[in-house]
Structure 1
Amino acid sequence: MRLEEANKKLAATLPALKGISKEEEFEHDHEDPEQRFEEREMRKVADHLYSLIYSVEYLQKPIQASGRVIKRSDGRYEIEGAEDYFTSGSPLEIWDESQEIYARTRIEHDGEDYFAVGIKQPLEGLQARCR
């Protein structure tokens, strides 16, 4: 299956997947051990669906900016030439030289500076893109 076809099929499943969300309430008999078991398992499924939905929707977003990460005068980071800057929780894709592929991560702050989760390099100067 071609990547484009797989992407379209996944996108088409989104409405059905959203039928059971992470916040869904599953009514059940709290006294019945089997129903408590099923409710717990459905909660796990809903959590996985939530992750799947997030990933599919993320892939549907166009790339908004691509370039080198620079530190602004206010201490925040942005992709050079882009209008938006990153705050804690901002999704970002960092170019991984060793694997020659972008790695999806997010920006967080450690009390001193911002960093990309799972990336052991300073942000400034990294090749990145955001959707």
Structure 2
Amino acid sequence: MELKLALKVLEEIENSISKLEDRYGNLPDEFEYNYDNPEEKYQHDTVRTIVSKLADIQTQIEWMNKSVISEGVLVKNNNNRYEIQGTEIEFSSGLPLDVWNNEWNQWETSRIEHNGEDYYIVSLGKYKPISGLKVRKK
């Protein structure tokens, strides 16, 4: 399958997922059903599991399609946080970013967390130094 076709299908999937959203843009985590009906209980639990996975898919599609705000090298700033060198784009725990993988010559999505001593990029491990890594913020 060609990538362009896959992207088109994913766009359709994203549009279908959005039909489940409430008026605030959130996917439901509960559904009305007959508690006395074992089959509806089963369906309810299965639908909740599926919707949770759809939320993850929706998040990944949205991230992939976001525009890049800035790209550069991570440096530690005066706040003891990391930022993209030459910008004021600062990262703190929980924030997503893309990190460049030199071995595979590609971007990988991850997030910043703190291990009690310093910040790290989750996909690289808790103790890998991150200063000097190429990242981008979307």
**Structure-2-length-normalised TM-score:** 0.84
Gaps of 5+ in 2: 22-26
AA of the residue aligned to 1:71: K
Q: Is it true that 1:126 corresponds to 2:94 in the alignment? A: no
Equivalent runs, 1:86-125 vs 2, <5 Å = 86-120=91-125, 121-125=128-132
AA of the residue aligned to 1:19: K
Gaps of 5+ in 1: none
SS at 2:64's partner residue?
A: helix
Deviations 1:49-85 (CA, angstroms, capped at 9, x unpaired): 1011111111111111111100001101011122220
RMSD (Å) for aligned C-alpha atoms: 1.7
Deviates more, 1:37-46 or 1:77-86: 77-86
SS at 2:36's partner residue?
A: coil
2:15 match? 15
AA of the residue aligned to 2:11: A
**Structure-1-length-normalised TM-score:** 0.88
1:47 match? 52
What displacement does 1:9 show?
4.1
SS at 1:128's partner residue?
A: strand
Instruction: Give runs of ≥4 in structure 1 deviating > 6 Å.
Output: none
AA of the residue aligned to 1:11: E
2:3 match? 3
Within 1, Cα distance between the matches of 2:9 and 2:19? 17
What displacement does 1:122 show?
0.8
AA of the residue aligned to 1:35: E
Equivalent runs, 1:29-48 vs 2, <5 Å = 29-48=34-53
1:64 match? 69
2:89 to 81, 84, 92: 84
